[in-house]
Structure 1
Amino acid sequence: MTAPRIEFCGEWYDVRPEEFFYIGREGDLVVDDNPFLHRRFLAVGLENGMYWLINVGNALSATVTDSTGQVQAWLAPGARLPVVFRELQVLFSAGSTTYDFTIHMESEFFGTSPLTSVSSGETTVGPIHLTSNQRLLILALAEDVLRQNSPGRGEIPASAQAAERLGWTQTAFNRKLDNVCDKLDRFGVPGLRGGRGKLATNRRSRLVEYAVSTRMVDPSDLVLLDQDTSAAGESAAEG
């Protein structure tokens, strides 16, 4: 079996079959010196004839998806996932920064076909429908991540910054953030429901990870941010 290659910030890294490849603040792929990032967070290695992606950290989780966004998993601390697709996109957040890299395989065990969708004013990923305002909110949070030309890093804005980007009041933004997170939580998306020990920053980052990895939003949608959204932002009718 040919070993996978990893793409990050325009650079390529080879995984050797005889040893594990570590990703984090230190290791074979040094992502960043971000103090919120584990020294060793993820590992890619060969075990029992198959390559695995393993979360070797103890606090952070990663969002993993195939190239179509149809197959998506949340890799919690201690969890592992077989690398069975030609491409796997891996997203994770540490503090206010979201990172992503791609694992490339020469061959794959499984394949998926692109999703089809979209009626005017709504985006559909499986059974999840977004209103136009919910889509705009996600775009405002994911803008820096989506503008990257290659897998790398992007900053997640504070709620006040995202609200200003949209021309909304922060009260309206926070209400709509609650609505979209509650909606996705009802569909089983983990990490979005607020509670003790779950800061707003973590919720915003998890929302961006999920939306980008499942192709709920993509770079072609960014043009919507330049349209006049202030009237829609103040509307109490849309969630």
Structure 2
Amino acid sequence: MPATVETGAAATGAVKPLRIEFCGEWYSVEPGAAFSIGRESDLTIDDNPYLHRTFLRLYEDFGMWWIANVGNLLSATVSDTTGSVQAWLAPGAKLPIVFQTMHVMFSAGSSTYDFTIHAEDDFYNTSLSASHESGTTTILPVTLTTSQRLLIVALSESILTQAVPGRGVIPSSAEAAARVGWSMTTFNRKLDNVCSKLDKLGVAGLRGGTGHLATNRRARLVEYAVATRLVSVDDVVLLDRAAEESRKGEESP
């Protein structure tokens, strides 16, 4: 049986309890109670110093559950189970929990974390419906070149291949470039291109203001790509192929 932590009092109305899944453990949140997530919270994610003591908060209001970002630096990517709808939850923002299964992913330092919220209520009656709340995006078709997909997979490999979802590590640009056999100049140029492409499609968080790429764009790129199923574990084989081609190129006279 998975570990369970009960929070709050008995149900106070029509709203049903939430269940939170993180690293194989389960937590229950009862209506009328609030549930915090962070470094020192009801759900303690990690002792990562880059993570807020209290980062996210789940609570009931107006007859439904909400998720709020109560931190002041970090953001989170929230998506439905299909990846068809995603939202970027910036500091101070909040969103209603309208799907029966909602995935939450965020980065602190070089680590990326994810957990799943399970709700009994499905306000849209289907996980394929798009939310019109502020900050929510219906995913547009994204066509990636082979090298763009390879770059994203190199950055996402740890998250895509983890046995139990919960925590992954995003490699440095140098590590990712070495993984696919590219120079840093090539890697950075391709990173600029893919971030610019997604930015033009309305993906938030890939630029830190007009003309300035965000310093945490690699983390945001990974969060978006994994949350929206832009890449999957099936794509990891591309890395080995690229490494093999790079090795053969070095051995050629």
- TM-score over 0.5 for the pair: yes
The aligned counterpart of 1:33 is 47
Gaps of 5+ in 2: 1-14, 130-138, 247-253
Q: Show the counterpart of 1:220.
A: 234
1:90 aligned partner: 104
Following superposition of structure 1 onto structure 2, how do residues 155-234 of structure 1 map, counting pairs within 5 Å?
155-193=169-207, 198-199=214-215, 202-228=216-242
Distance in 1 between the 2:184 and 2:213 partners?
22
For residue 126 of structure 1, report the CA deviation from its aligned partner: 2.4
Cα distance change, pair 230–193 in 1 and its aligned pair in 2 (3 A) = farther
TM-score (norm 1): 0.87
State the match for 2:153 in structure 1.
139
Alignment-mate amino acid for residue 43 of structure 2: L
* Matching residue within 70, 76, 79 for 1:65: 79
Is the Cα contact below 8 Å between 2:140 and 2:201 reproduced in 1? no
More displaced 10-residue stretch of structure 1: 71-80 or 144-153: 144-153
> Which protein, 1 or 2, shows the higher relative CO under an 8 Å CA cutoff with sep ≥ 6?
1
Unpaired stretches in structure 1, ≥5 consecutive residues: 115-124, 233-239
Normalised to the residue count of structure 2, the TM-score between the two structures is 0.82
Deviation of 1:197 after TM superposition, in Å, equals 8.9
What SS does the aligned partner of 2:104 have?
A: strand
Query: Would you say the 8 A contact 2:114–2:165 is kept in 1?
Result: yes
Q: Are residues 1:126 and 2:140 paired? A: yes
The amino acid across from 2:127 in the alignment is T
Look up the SS of the partner of 2:242 in the other structure: coil
CA distance in 2, matches of 1:132, 1:196: 26
Give the structure 2 partner of residue 74 of structure 1.
88
Q: Within 2, Cα distance between the matches of 1:48 and 1:144?
A: 39
State, as a whole percentage, how many aligned pairs show the same letter.
61
Q: Is 1:112 paired with 2:124?
A: no
How far, CA to CA, are the matches of 2:202 and 2:107 in structure 1? Answer: 20
**Structure 1 SS opposite 2:83:** coil
